[in-house]
Amino acid sequence: MELTGIESRVVLVTGAAQGIGAAVAEILAGAGAHVAAVDRNAEGLATVVAKLEAEGGVARGYPVDVCDSEAVDALVGRIEDEQGPIGILVNAAGVLHTGRVVELSDRQWNETFSVNAGGVFNVSRAVARRMIPRRFGAIVTVASNAAGVPRTEMAAYAASKAASAQFTRCLGLELSDHGIRCNIVSPGSTDTPMLRSMLGEDADAGQVIEGTPAAYRVGIPLRKLAQPRDVAEAVAYLVSDQAGHVTMHDLYVDGGAALHV
């Protein structure tokens, strides 16, 4: 199925320097979108933008910390001045701090929420304010299946992703009168730098696939890790015309690991 409604749209993608965000930028640029790639990692962002341009895509990089609401407001204005009205927003920026609750520091907890929940709020608010008068737009937040399934040593991450998912549903309800759709994609274990940093250098992906009963974690029924492109394809569907009657939906892309919670 060919997706429509993406070509020539200005798309803001956060967390675009690596992992799922980079894959989303690549998929949407390949579909003809004009990508505004956002990340606080300026070096990684430049690499991604150069790759997209080399492949014939239209992309510009904007190094910004999504935790800074004033910088985000200015950024959204700048993107619209330079590239035109933002028609699609994908919130893919995220950080992960693991550890048992009693061992988590204030800094780890606060940073996790500042990026994973606060960043989604800052960027979504700034973009929605501009979408409302135009009565058009699509917003997708990349959350996690951990938002719906308890995970040991992932309390901060899981709670922040649950917050971002519920925020996006509420936003979708508020914006529905204006014809703006808001949806969520919830990946499971995906082969990204974030997952590799969590598992450590000596970890075996096979253990993730098999599950860890001692940690009350089931494996992946499809017997494989997701690739960033798997998640990006789901995002692309939800921002396309083919999902024109879909809003406030949470699409799990986890190989069945959440057992359809």
Q: Which residues are catalytic?
A: 157
Enter the tokens of residue 197. Answer: 């940093």
CB distance 255 to 222 below 8 Å: yes
C-alpha distances in Å from residue 40, one per residue of 93, 157, 163, 172, 200: 9, 19, 22, 27, 24
Closest CA to 231 of 194, 176, 180, 181: 194
Q: What is the CA radius of gyration of the chain?
A: 17
Three-class secondary structure of residue 5 per DSSP: coil
C-alpha distances in Å from residue 24, one per residue of 101, 125, 134, 195, 234: 32, 21, 24, 17, 9
CA distance 243 to 3: 9
Closest CA to 20 of 1, 43, 39: 39
CB distance 141 to 91 below 8 Å: yes
Enter the tokens of residue 188. Answer: 């499971």
Q: Which amino acid is present at 136?
A: F
CB distance 157 to 146 below 8 Å: yes
Tokens 């069945």 locate to 256
CA distance 226 to 231: 8
CA distance 92 to 141: 6
